[in-house]
Chains A and B, each alone.
Chain A
Amino acid sequence: MSATVQRAMSGPVPKIRVRGLRKAFGGKLVLDGIDLDVMPGTSTVVIGGSGSGKSVLIKCILGLIEPDAGSVEIDGKSLLDSPARDRAAARARIGMLFQNGALFDSLPVWENVAFGLLAQNRVSRPEAKAKAAEVLSQVGLAASVGDLSPAELSGGMQKRVALARAIAAQPDMLFFDEPTTGLDPIMGAVIDGLIVDCVKRLGSTAIAITHDMASAQRIGDRAAMLLKGKLIWQGDASALLDSGNDAVDQFTHGRRDGPIQMELRR
């Protein structure tokens, strides 16, 4: 059966299709056969314990970490197998917020925010600076912040600058690794609103990692839970709090007792 026929039979093509993804570091298996589909214009939140491999999963999807096995297709094309030029074109449509911000500390904030635009030669430097100020205001930062260096910002401000950098080029795929961790509740809600806005208004496709259930339900259409290298549950984000899965229940309600045993001192 040809791939196109197969696709015609299985309905719309997912924007992101992950199959059998495996990744081990040394002897430690982190991802053990992940299958995930993300439809165009929807957002999926990934939840899971600390160290369960959420960041590794997102980096594998982006092709920043080479998986040991499995495939990642974006718009039906594998990022890792495609030639460098196609990969660059695909990456140009991707925005990524790294868990620790990963701001370029040698550049002022505004150049960080406008980096993607400048790299694609889409704007002149003055235009880029104006655009950066605009995006900074969307994440609740004054334009004057643009002239500071990232090291002069608080942790929460760095996170918002990183978010501004991820969305500045209006990419059609967005990846957020803990976008609201370290922000106060009000700013968290503002950022959630901004992410929803990117998905709903611009029609972007998003994957977000979060530990905050309220935020997960605000951002996500779909949700998935990662445990011991597998996605043990996938469903609607609205069903997160009563999923019927014991492990998800324990996690989302933050209970100490349940199927998930934290590996504390023994």
Chain B
Amino acid sequence: MLLDLVAALGRVLLGACQSAGSLALFALAGLSHVLRPPYYPRLVLAAVAEMGFFSLPVVALTAIFTGMVLALQASTALSRFSAESASASLVVLSVTRELGPVLAGLMVAGRVGAATAAELGTMRVTDQIDALSTLSTVPMKYLVAPRLLAGIIALPLLVVVADILGVLGGFIIATLKLGFNGPTYIVATLNHLETADVTLGLVKAAVFGFLIALMGCYHGYNSKGGAQGVGAATTMAVVTASVLILAFDYVLSELFFVR
């Protein structure tokens, strides 16, 4: 009875190690193809457009509303300590360090991670990936490498926009609703904004973009079993990307911000 339990636990652990291993190998293979020719600049560009440009509306809306609610809550909380004046710095730090990269990442994971997994998964189950390799093309290089590279490029660009709009959302509420003085708020924001916060937020974004593309590609590329398998791959891509984003967010914050 107890042995059964231990055996089951062992199987789960072994399975987890195996998946982690094959994922790591997949990531390494994908990255090595990013570096070696032939390159597919047109595919990278298309993937950047898909991940960056077409995600702009949803990320912009998320960022603005987040900035707005943040300013609202910050001033309520800070007023208890008569420290409302700190809300500008709270908004800008939260947005650039955490909320910009994390929320943009989660939104893009839902949009692009799912679409990538569905596209590659369909290509897998309809033999299109096999067809690529019979047509002098390495599927990892043609399908996976451009998307990984695009993830690393596109998400930081999106996060720049998200940072600006998030702060703008905070500014709107602070000045229009909470009675802050506009110029004072801007000066306070700029005073508390450090280059390190922004750059490290962008590093996070690059990591998240890579993770989103990796999860979409990995689950799509290895999907099997027809439409149902593609559906499962899509779900897995979004769920694993979201969890990894939050986990890596903690790890990176621990590494960079806590001194």
When distances are taken between beta carbons in the complex, the residues of chain B under 8 Å from A95 are: 134
Task: Please name all residues of chain A whose beta carbon is closer than 8 Å to the beta carbon of B135 when the two chains form the complex.
Answer: 115-116, 119, 165
Residues of A within 8 A of B22 (CB): none
* A88-118 to B contact mask, C-beta < 8 Å, 1/0: 1001101110111011111000000001100
Indicate if the CB atoms of B134 and A96 lie closer than 8 Å.
yes
Q: Is the CB of B136 within 8 A of A119?
A: yes
B100 CB to nearest A CB, Å: 32
Check B131 for interface membership: any CB of A closer than 8 A. Answer: yes
- B126 with A119: CB separation less than 8 A: no
Chain B interface bracket (under 10, 10 to 19, 20 to 34, 35 or more)? 10 to 19
Is B4 in the interface zone, CB < 8 Å from A? Answer: no
Residue of A91, A98, A105, A119 touching B127 (CB-CB under 8 A): A98
Instruction: Establish whether residues A64 and B130, one from each chain, have CB atoms under 8 Å apart when the complex forms.
Output: yes
Q: Would you call A120 an interface residue if the criterion is a C-beta within 8 Å of the partner chain's C-beta atoms? A: yes
Interface positions of B from 111 to 125, Cβ below 8 Å from A: 119, 123
Min CB–CB distance B251 → chain A (angstroms): 34
Question: What residues of B have a CB within 8 angstroms of the CB of A57 in the complex?
Answer: none
A119 in contact with B134 (CB, 8 Å): no
**Is B73 an interface residue when CB atoms closer than 8 A count as contact?**
no
Binary per-residue interface labels of chain B (137-170) against chain A in the complex, 1 for a CB within 8 Å, 0 otherwise = 1100000000000000000000000000000000
| Count: A-B pairs, CB below 8 Å | 45
Contact check, B136 vs A98: say whether CB atoms are below 8 A apart: no
Q: What residue in chain B is nearest A162 (Cβ atoms)?
A: B131
Bound together, the chains give a CA A94 to CA B133 distance in angstroms of: 10
What separation, in Å, do the CA atoms of A173 and B186 have in the docked complex? 69
Could you tell me which residues of chain A, from 122 to 181, have a CB within 8 Å of some CB in chain B? 165, 169
Q: How distant is A168 from chain B, measured CB to nearest CB, in Å?
A: 9
Contacts of A165 in B (CB 8 A): 135
| Interface presence of A199 (CB below 8 A) | no
- CB-based contact A116/B127 at 8 Å: no
For B134, give its contact among A62, A99, A103, A104 (CB under 8 Å): A62
Set A64, A88, A105: member contacting B136, Cβ < 8 A? A88
B-chain residues with CB within 8 Å of residue A98 when the two chains form the complex: 127, 130-131
CA distance A120 to B137 in the complex (A): 8
Neighbouring B residues of A115 by C-beta, 8 Å: 135, 137
Residue of B nearest to A64 (CB): B130
- B184 on interface, CB distance cutoff 8 Å: no
Question: How far in angstroms is the closest Cβ of chain B from A117?
Answer: 9
* Residue of A59, A98, A99 contacting most chain B CB atoms (<10 Å): A98
Asked if B19 is at the interface (CB within 8 A of a chain A CB), the reply is no
**A120: which of B126, B127, B133, B136 is its contact (CB, 8 Å)?**
B136
Is B128 a contact partner of A102 (Cβ separation < 8 A)? yes
Q: Mark A224-245, 1 if CB is under 8 A from B, else 0.
A: 0000000000000000000000
Pair B136/A91 contact, Cβ less than 8 Å: yes
On chain B, the residues within 8 Å of A96 by CB distance are 131, 134
> A91 with B131: in contact, given A100-B126, A102-B126 (CB under 8 Å)?
no
**B128 adjacent to A104 (CB under 8 Å):** yes
A116 lies within 8 A of B136 (CB): yes
Contacts of A62 in B (CB 8 A): 130, 134
Distance of A105 Cα from B118 Cα, bound (Å): 13
Question: Looking at B123, B136, B137, which has the most chain A CB atoms within 10 Å of its CB?
Answer: B136
Please provide the chain A residues from 62 to 76 with a CB less than 8 Å away from any CB of chain B in the complex.
Answer: 62, 64
Name the residue among B119, B127, B128 with the largest chain A CB count within 10 angstroms.
Answer: B127
Q: How far is the CB of B119 from chain A (nearest CB, A)?
A: 8
Q: Which residues of A have CB within 8 Å of B138?
A: 88
Contact B136 A59 (CB under 8 A): no
Chain A's closest residue to B46 (CB) is A106
Q: Which residues of B approach A to under 8 Å, CB–CB?
A: 119, 123, 126-128, 130-138
Q: Apart from A100-B126, A100-B127, A102-B126, list 14 A-B contacts with CB within 8 A.
A: A59-B130, A88-B136, A92-B136, A98-B130, A102-B131, A103-B128, A104-B123, A104-B128, A104-B131, A115-B135, A119-B135, A119-B136, A120-B136, A165-B135
7 A-B pairs with CB atoms under 8 Å apart are A88-B136, A92-B136, A96-B134, A98-B127, A105-B128, A106-B119, A119-B135
